[in-house]
Amino acid sequence: MRVAFIGDIIGRPGRNHIKKELKKIRETYSIDFVIANGENASHGFGITHESADELLKCGIDVLTGGNHTWDKKKDILALLKTAPVMRPHNYPDGVDGTGLKIFEVNNQKIAILNLMGIYGMPQVTNPFIVAQEVVKQLNNDGIFHIFVDFHGEATAEKRVMYELLKGNVSAICGTHTHIGTDDFEVANGTFYVTDIGLTGCRDNVIGMDSHVPLQKALTGLGGHFDIPKSCKTIFQIMIVDVDENGKAIDGMKLKLFSDQHPILTQALLS
């Protein structure tokens, strides 16, 4: 089985790059299932019905969330009930939606688990305890193909999650920082990367127009972040090969640029 992760999709530039490339990538690399973080897909903050529909029609199978999940509250509350759209699973009990969904791919059940870190994030329950409990229950139910989107600010939290779940899940891919890391590896049957990195504008500040971040850096005065009207874009996607027992056996990262040749790099096997 070959499963792909796309990091934070930032506004229209990110959606347009996916629309242009994803179906071709799925075919070229024989990808069976695509997970993408969609919490920034609608002008950088939240996701609307229109944006979710557009991305799902492009070849994404499920959209995960994070701290911006609720920014388009009316839309997301309906999407969580009617579409393959998720929010972090470790929000407190009683919050709408779920961060755990199970799909059937190539006659195998696969679980997608969306979690959010603690540092610098909204109030959530302990993601490490939640992860342990969910993975144990999934294994008891005979599900071993488990793919985790861990949405977190702190790199150390993501690494702790890897050490906690290594050998018990197929892949852990970090999202949220919008900055891709080069530490992807496969160990004990688990693929890991601290952060996939954004898909969207790359010649600015984490996908947003540089004006407000520069103003804040120089004066301490903030403002509303906007998506640039024109920019150079990047599309970042992790591709993971998993065996019949849910063990990762290989992985790679593909980076496509609007103005450069693509880059493909392999994961380190340890």
Tokens linked to 111? 């679980």
- CA–CA gap between residue 208 and residue 206 (Å, rounded): 6
8 Å CB contact between 174 and 185: no
SS3 for 229? coil
Catalytic residue chosen out of the listed positions 17, 68, 89, 145: 68
Is 68 among the catalytic positions?
Answer: yes
| Angle, vertex CA 147, rays to CA 146 and CA 150, nearest 5 | 130
> Does an H or E element contain 130, and which?
helix 127-140
Q: How far is CA 197 from CA 30, 80, 200, 230, in A?
A: 22, 24, 10, 20
CA distances from 241 to 2, 49, 147, 172, 252 (A): 5, 31, 12, 13, 9
* Token code pair at residue 164: 């906690």
Catalytically active residues, by annotation: 68
